[in-house]
Structure 1
Amino acid sequence: MSTEDLENYETDMELKLYREYRDVVGLFSYVVETERRFYLANHVDLQARSDHGGEIYFELTLRDAWVWDVYRSARFVKVVRVVTFKDVNVEELAQSDLEVPKTLDD
């Protein structure tokens, strides 16, 4: 497989993932971003915790979620638990936010 073939494959996979996102975003209430992943979810529980050394970390539980991951074959997940020492961004989607521009042709 040539470098060009690999780049074309990755580009095609990313386009398919975007199209899937565009199709499913209207099913979810929250957008969640961590340092490693991007999620859509219908229930979010975010808890700040501290370890024995006093360092703060976040424990995040998502229910009824979709994971933005080009290499993951099953992106719909019933429950996701994330533990991170980095910031977590959780946004509730307004109805107007659910309109994804239809700039890419299917």
Structure 2
Amino acid sequence: MTLSAEDLEKYETEMELQLYREYRDIVRQFSYVVETERRFYLTNHVEMHVRNTDGETFFEVEMSDAWVWDMYRPARFVKNVRVMTFKDVNVEELDKPDIELPTEGGFGN
């Protein structure tokens, strides 16, 4: 059985949607977003080091308790990740909203 280009595109679209839903459900459990040239991570601990070897500058990024945005990866939760890249790395701390109380049928009603 061969897949048509349309079937493959439909499969990839469904996988991306599933990945987005997983991301939406777990993002509040993490403190940082880390973007490299190849991957997007959610993590609770990140350290970035600028290294220089033989005149070449690169970045070494270490993360623990991470989630990887990769639809082809069967296990997206990773205990420890170490990435080395020559491209810029973007690290952003996520806002941690205060505890949200139910607005209907909850406290004080």
Q: Same fold (TM over 0.5)?
A: yes
Q: Counterparts of 1:84 and 1:6 in 2: how far apart (Å)?
A: 31
Larger radius of gyration: 2
- What value does the CA root-mean-square deviation take over the aligned residues? 0.7
AA in 2 matched with 1:2? S
Determine which structure has the larger helix proportion and give its number: 1
Structure 2, unmatched stretches of 5+, are: 98-109
Aligned position for 2:88:
87
Deviations 1:14-53 (A, max 9, x none): 000000000110110000000000000000010000012x
Give yes or no for the alignment of 1:11 onto 2:30.
no
One-letter identity of the residue aligned with 1:67: V
Correspondence for 2:101 = none
2:44 partner letter = N
Aligned residues: 95
What amino acid is aligned across from residue 48 of structure 2 in structure 1?
Answer: L
C-alpha displacement at 1:3, in angstroms? 1.1
Deviation at 1:95, TM superposition (A): 1.9
> Match for residue 74 of structure 1?
75
